[in-house]
Amino acid sequence: MNAPLVQITHCQEFAAAHRLHSPKLSGSENAALYGPCNNLHGHNYRFEVTVEGPVDPATGMVMNLNDLAEVMRTAVWQKVDHKNLCQDVPFLNGVITTAENLAIAFWNQISAHQARLDGAKLHRIRVVESPDNFVDYFGGAQ
């Protein structure tokens, strides 16, 4: 029998400032599209990283969640907490800091540490921007 594949998730929170502004649009187009989000403001973000892997019969775990937490801290959290996402974060340079783009950028940051995931595979990044809005990224492209 194949080993059951299980998805496990760790969540972290960070506070950060940003504004939504596209260099491809004029000032008035940006204001019309993004409304008040075109102005500098902040969020208490939550981000979740889900990895998938077989349950190790010796430990009963896919991987140690403390190790996943440490990867998230070093790859993302330390770089974004209490920062202006539009100015202070090198890996977001030139990125429109929508939750969609944060999820993609966080995916790439975590992916760079694949070797520290104990054989588990990155499955989903969720970025929760507000109680009403969140985005998921599964690494797909078209």
Task: Give contact residues for Zn ion (rule: CB under 5 A).
Answer: 37
13, 29, 41, 82: the active-site residue:
82
> Quick one: tokens of 92?
């977001």
In the complex, what is the shortest distance from the CB of residue 17 to Zn ion, in angstroms, rounded to a whole number?
9
37, 52, 70, 113: the active-site residue:
37
Q: What are the two backbone dihedrals, phi and then psi, of residue 24, each rounded to the nearest 5 degrees?
A: -85, -5
Residue nearest to Zn ion (CB): 37
Helix ranges restricted to H, 48-137: 65-72, 78-80, 99-111
CA angle 88, 72, 53 (to 5 degrees): 145
Annotation marks residue 86 as catalytic: no
In the complex, what is the shortest distance from the CB of residue 19 to Zn ion, in angstroms, rounded to a whole number?
7
51/84 Cα distance (integer angstroms): 28
Annotation marks residue 129 as catalytic: yes
Annotation marks residue 21 as catalytic: no
Of 35 and 54, CB closest to Zn ion: 35
In the complex, what is the shortest distance from the CB of residue 122 to Zn ion, in angstroms, rounded to a whole number?
25
Contact at 8 Å (CB) between 128 and 45? yes
Provide the annotated active-site residues.
37, 82, 129
